[in-house]
């Protein structure tokens, strides 16, 4: 009996030892949430650059769990969650612009010369300066990098091949004064609908059209319920990679640097991937039966003139705006 007790004690001790060792090796799990399907370049960059780079360079100390397509909530929920620490890292747009007005720059109309210019702005010194200002405003979070959403285009079930066709049409727009102002200035009416409800709203005729990049039209399958796409490229929207400050600061200095570098490399990768995808996406849309119309220089000029009320209001209400726009336009 004594031998049996010893064996039982030794067995229990070994089980406890192995369990403890297992716990010690568990490491850190960082959840990453976004609202995009896995085919969007920013989502792909998280899967193909951010996650593997962090897991490999930390030798498994950090595990990245990725949740696409709004699994963890819409943009507002993600933003609230990263601030309170219930989600460690999120990829969101300018949902916080009502709290921090300079965030409006990420949706400023006709701000860039082209997509390469947009990439240079958000992967260079301007981005670093902007991120520092953001982090000072929101000390509970750390913006890590800025990647692409897309160059926004308009789609509709009704004819939309020129500036004149906006009049009388109903468009789903994000909850953003720039977006709603643009469509109103062009003669349409704006209705705010969450992205995850957009397909049904278009399918049932709640709205005639919407504005998103071609990459989003395809990833959200909006081409199945839209007939026309007008390639206005009126806004080159961005997506921000944001971490909870307490979580990030709680990592070792080495692991913090690994996460920061992985964020920057993922954002740059996403910009390249997105820029390369534009021509392919356009052709894909045409092949699925969507009428795609380019925006001529003359039409772009007409659009800029039409939306002058929105632009004038933006400049009048934001004393930082002119200097920041000038700084962006000066980036080479």
Domain boundaries, the chain: 28-149+238-278, 153-235+279-330
pLDDT at res. 26: 55
Q: What is the mean pLDDT of residues 237-242?
A: 98
pLDDT at res. 7: 36
Q: For the ranges 11-20, 163-172, 253-262, 280-289, which has the lowest average pLDDT?
A: 11-20
CA nearest neighbour of 121 among 309, 292, 332, 310: 332
35 Cβ neighbours under 8 A, 6+ residues apart: 69, 70, 74, 75, 78, 91, 92, 195, 196
pLDDT at res. 23: 35
Q: What is the mean pLDDT of residues 65-86?
A: 96
pTM of the model: 0.89
Question: Do 28-149+238-278 and 153-235+279-330 have matching folds?
Answer: yes
Q: For the ranges 12-16, 74-78, 86-90, which has the lowest average pLDDT?
A: 12-16
Q: Is the dihedral of CA 141, 145, 149, 152 positive or negative?
A: positive
Higher-confidence residue of 174 and 43: namely 43
pLDDT band at 120 (very low <50, low <70, confident <90, very high): very high
28-149+238-278 adopts what CATH topology? D-Maltodextrin-Binding Protein; domain 2 (3.40.190)
Domain at 153-235+279-330, CATH class: alpha beta
pLDDT at 132 over 80: yes
């Amino acid at each position: 009996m004594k031998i049996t007790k010893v064996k039982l004690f030794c067995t229990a001790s070994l089980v406890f030892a192995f369990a403890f060792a297992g716990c010690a090796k568990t490491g850190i799990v960082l959840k990453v949430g976004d609202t995009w399907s896995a085919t969007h370049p920013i989502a792909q960059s998280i899967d193909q650059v951010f996650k593997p780079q962090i897991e490999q360079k930390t030798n498994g100390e950090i595990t990245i769990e990725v949740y696409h397509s709004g699994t963890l909530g819409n943009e507002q929920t993600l933003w609230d969650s990263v601030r309170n620490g219930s989600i460690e890292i999120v990829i969101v747009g300018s949902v916080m612009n009502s709290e921090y007005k300079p965030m409006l720059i990420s949706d400023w109309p006709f701000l860039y010369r082209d997509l390469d210019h947009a990439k240079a702005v958000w992967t260079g010194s301007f981005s670093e300066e902007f991120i520092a200002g953001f982090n000072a405003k929101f000390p509970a979070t750390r913006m890590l990098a800025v990647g692409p959403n897309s160059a926004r285009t308009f789609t509709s079930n009704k004819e939309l091949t020129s500036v004149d066709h906006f009049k009388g049409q109903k468009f789903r727009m994000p909850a953003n004064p720039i977006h709603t102002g643009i469509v109103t200035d062009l003669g349409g009416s704006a209705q705010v609908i969450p992205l995850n409800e957009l397909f049904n709203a278009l399918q049932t005729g709640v709205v005639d059209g919407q504005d998103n990049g071609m990459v989003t039209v395809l990833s959200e399958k909006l081409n199945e319920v839209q007939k026309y796409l007008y390639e206005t490229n009126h806004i080159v929207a961005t997506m921000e990679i944001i971490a909870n400050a307490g979580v990030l600061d709680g990592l070792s200095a080495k692991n913090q640097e690994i996460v920061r570098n992985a964020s920057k490399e993922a954002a740059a990768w996403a910009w390249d991937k997105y820029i390369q995808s534009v021509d392919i996406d356009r052709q894909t849309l045409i092949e699925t039966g969507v009428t795609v119309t380019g925006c001529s220089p003359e039409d772009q000029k007409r659009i800029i003139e039409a939306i002058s009320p929105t632009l004038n209001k933006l400049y009048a209400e934001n004393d930082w705006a002119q200097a920041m726009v000038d700084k962006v336009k000066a980036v080479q």
